[in-house]
Amino acid sequence: MKLLNATTCSLLAGALALSVIAPVAADDDDYDYEAEYRDPDPWEPMNRVIFRFNDTLDTYALKPVAKGYDRVMPQFLNDGVTNVFNNLGEPKNLINNTLQGKFHDAGIDLARFLMNTTVGVVGVFDVATRMGLQRNDEDFGQTLGAWGVQSGPYVMLPLFGPSTVRDGSAFALEGYTVYNYADTDHVRTRNTAVGLDIVDTRAGLLSQERLIRGDKYRFIRNAWLQNREYKVKDGQVEDEF
């Protein structure tokens, strides 16, 4: 399932969020934002145990495979695989942008999917980006956030990595939606697609590891929380984290 793609981000998701900034100030007098962000990780001891499990799994299983994949795959093939999986995620972006009332972005998602699926040969070539249609990155967790659902405490999920109570719940629901690219009865096809997606995404994060500084757990947690808030607010954030 597309949901399983999150396995690749269980350790390095924070590295992708280095350039984002912090959550916005409170607008709701009944909700104590300051208290939430003063202690966003009340379950830290449990989360650290799960993080160590994920880290060990990545170090001895996923990362070596990703390194081998990155070494043998020509760049143009690597880009093609990434483009295909990005294209398969466009319906997800379309649905969530529609649910958030962002119909212009939803139109871009639809145009990208149709264009890349046809002219781009089932998504191998990202012709839509070359024509100025930039890809969105939406999920149901962002939709819930846009609807006013608070994130709740930070939680480290086994295999799936960083999340919150809100995003973890949305994450589970997304595995059963109609835009799940691995929704097929052919087990071998499904497993191959999921496995290739995981390895391709993990390989793309190899160069990001050198950006991690200090306590690896805290670095990833803080950057991930900033990144999520940035995405939920569509970049409209004010205060520093």
- Integer Cα distance of 221 and 225 in angstroms: 6
Q: What is the dihedral of CA 93, 12, 189, 180, to 10 degrees?
A: -20
Write down the pLDDT at residue 184: 55
User: Which residues have C-beta within 8 Å of that of residue 110, sequence separation ≥ 6?
Assistant: 90, 94
CB-neighbour burial class of residue 213 (10 A; exposed 0-12, middle 13-18, buried 19+): exposed
Query: If you average pLDDT over residues 228-232, what whole number do you get?
Result: 93
Which DSSP helix (H) or strand (E) runs through 234?
Answer: none
226 by DSSP, 3-state: which?
helix
pLDDT of residue 18: 34
Q: Which of 74-83, 98-107, 191-200 has the highest mean pLDDT?
A: 98-107
- 33-52 mean pLDDT: 81
Could you tell me the pLDDT band of residue 36, with boundaries at 50, 70 and 90?
very low
More confident residue, 236 or 95: 95
Nearest 5°: the CA angle 192, 86, 11 is 75
* High-pLDDT (> 70) share of the chain, %: 77
pTM of this structure? 0.76
- Specify the pLDDT at position 63: 93
Residue 159's pLDDT is what? 87
Q: What is the per-residue pLDDT across 133-191, written as a single tens digit (0 to 9) for each?
A: 999 999 999 999 999 999 999 999 998 899 999 999 888 777 655 445 445 556 677 77
- Cα(first)–Cα(last) distance of the chain, in Å? 33
Percent of the chain with pLDDT over 90: 58
- 90-117 in b/e burial notation, b at 16+ Cβ within 10 A? bbbbbbbbbbbebeebbebbbebbebbb
pLDDT confidence of residue 173: 78
Find the angle CA(95)-CA(170)-CA(96) to the nearest 5 degrees: 15
Q: Strand 154-157 relative to strand 161-164: parallel, antiparallel, unpaired?
A: antiparallel
6-25 pLDDT, tens digit per residue, is: 434 433 443 333 333 233 33
Please say whether the dihedral angle defined by the alpha carbons of residues 175, 99, 91 and 85, taken in this order, is positive or negative: negative
